[in-house]
Structure 1
Amino acid sequence: MEIKFFDRKNKCYKTEKVAGEKYLNWTYSSPMGMKFLEAVLKKKVFSKLYGHYCDCSLSKRKIPGFIREFSIDTKEFKRHDFRNFNDFFIRELNKDARNISLENNILISPCDGKVLAYDHVDIDSLIQVKGITYSLQELIGNKNIAENYTDGCCLIFRLCPTDYHRFHFVDEGKCSPTQKITGHYYSVNPIALKNVKKLFCQNKREWSILSSKNFNEVLYIEVGATCVGSIIQTYTPNNDVKKGDEKGLFKFGGSTVIIFFQKNSVKIHQDILKQTQLGYECSVILGEPIGTTFVK
């Protein structure tokens, strides 16, 4: 299965180079693979064991080949003396690697990845892929909070294993403590999303609310995936944060950040909404403008 996305910078469609593509296709598209998935791969113990391997010094030898295969720009790295693969995976970037748009009326991408955008959402029928839906209440386990986002906006950012794997705040404000929900460790790749019903609601996830200066109450949800050893929150709850400040990071694996905005809080750029309607994700990087404050 080819995964095509829209490259916003060059205004063209590209095919994603997928880490472990053959494994993903076999696992999520064959009867034997699905049995192995249910018996082993989705379990916490598998991701935990693989996470331990990525934390050991032996895994360091994977780094050069990974960088070459996926053409990762090493000039962006803050440092190069990685102790193991996870140390490389959660790498920080140097200050010049990303340009954060600081204007109050500009909504920025909170991370590197591929984004889908949905406006005027039905919180009881959120789209996973065509024909598969889930509810916000199922996703966060809180009906009262979910109802605050009726007819609002939903952004789904998919981080590939090749991406920078830290996520950031889209505005200044204060963020609530994180609520944690245990779950499985399915892949969040589009191949998996087409074959596992209510996948986001089944995976391990965490959520919190940013009381922002310019975009009202912003609901952040971080979703783990296969081989993601941890979702690590690095912010301090209820303290002031600035736009672009780091919120947290994912250890090894593809992962997802889902953000909900309340009704009449944000206006997403038209090209992203259009590509989503056409069935394509858009590539974005941290700090890139993706919307503006809502103006009546």
Structure 2
Amino acid sequence: MKRTLFKYFVELTGHPISSALLKTISKSPLSKPLIKPFAKAYGINESEAEYAMDRYGSLQAYFTRNLKQGVRIVEPGPRILVSPVDGVLSAAGKIEKEQTFSIKDHLYSIKQILGDEKVAKRYENGFYYIFYLSPSHYHHFHYPIDGTLVSRYALGTVSYPVNDLGLRLGDRPFATNYRLISELETSFGQVAIVKVGALNVNSIHVHNNAKQCMKGEDFGYFSFGSTVILFIEPHESFQMLQKPATDIMMGEAIGIWT
């Protein structure tokens, strides 16, 4: 029951009025007493947070917390692709021509996700990873590989929750949600990082617009719930290292160009 209640505060609902109210409360000092039971309900490792729990002024401040330096190890090596987030790797595999991606019983084409046929075509025969971040997860996103930022664009104006209810009732949420796409040019081709907002408002915050991107570098966060998708341009030597339905931490190796 507690987990369900807390989930409303950090993922919100599909209704703009109730979401606005929950968002206001979660950002208010009135929500500070909810931090400790929230952390207990989701089994959050308090020792990893940058500050002690009583230093956070609201539930939203705690939800968007930074981690202490050194608690995530970024797998070294220029050929290794790492997870950009803490989360569950809900799906992964090869991108076939005309493929659709099954996300919680809904099907989406890469063109619908990226919003551009020319961009989508670049990743055909490449690889994809889909990460779901639950309320228990650290909600910052990091670069998965060294590269140069060649494009960043936003799509969508309406977002629905990424919880089961929103995915059942939303109007094809991954095709319509507000999402921010960053494309990196790497030594092995392009990599697209798709951040999908989980609310009926934009919850994606970018604090690093540098052109040169370093693997493991923190470049933004979700203020509420979220999903991240990676698309990898085809390369004959690329190998996937993780299987779906796996819990992943930011910095873990998920692929390698041999």
Task: Tell me if TM exceeds 0.5.
Answer: yes
Tell me the residue number matched to 2:250: 286
Once residues 167 and 45 of structure 1 are traced to their aligned partners in structure 2, the CA distance between those partners, rounded to angstroms, is 28
Amino acid at match of 2:191: V
Q: Alignment partner for residue 220 of structure 2, among 248, 252, 262? A: 248
In structure 1, stretches of 5+ residues that fail to align are 1-16, 25-39
Tell me the residue number matched to 1:79: 51
- The TM-score with structure 1 as length reference comes to 0.76
Once residues 183 and 86 of structure 2 are traced to their aligned partners in structure 1, the CA distance between those partners, rounded to angstroms, is 21
Task: Give the conservation status (yes or no) of the 8 Å contact 1:183–1:204.
Answer: yes
Tell me the residue number matched to 2:196: 223
SS in 1 for 2:3: coil
Q: Alignment partner for residue 55 of structure 1, among 7, 27, 30? A: 27
Once residues 40 and 128 of structure 2 are traced to their aligned partners in structure 1, the CA distance between those partners, rounded to angstroms, is 34
Once residues 195 and 66 of structure 2 are traced to their aligned partners in structure 1, the CA distance between those partners, rounded to angstroms, is 19
Task: Give the conservation status (yes or no) of the 8 Å contact 2:146–2:214.
Answer: yes
Task: Give the conservation status (yes or no) of the 8 Å contact 2:3–2:38.
Answer: no
Work out whether 1:90 is the aligned partner of 2:61: no
Note the 1:91-170 alignment, pairs <5 A: 91-122=65-96, 124-129=98-103, 132-170=106-144
Tell me how far 1:190 sits from its aligned partner.
Answer: 4.7
Once residues 76 and 164 of structure 2 are traced to their aligned partners in structure 1, the CA distance between those partners, rounded to angstroms, is 32
Tell me the residue number matched to 2:232: 261
Amino acid at match of 1:282: T
Tell me the residue number matched to 1:186: 160
Amino acid at match of 2:198: A
In structure 2, stretches of 5+ residues that fail to align are none
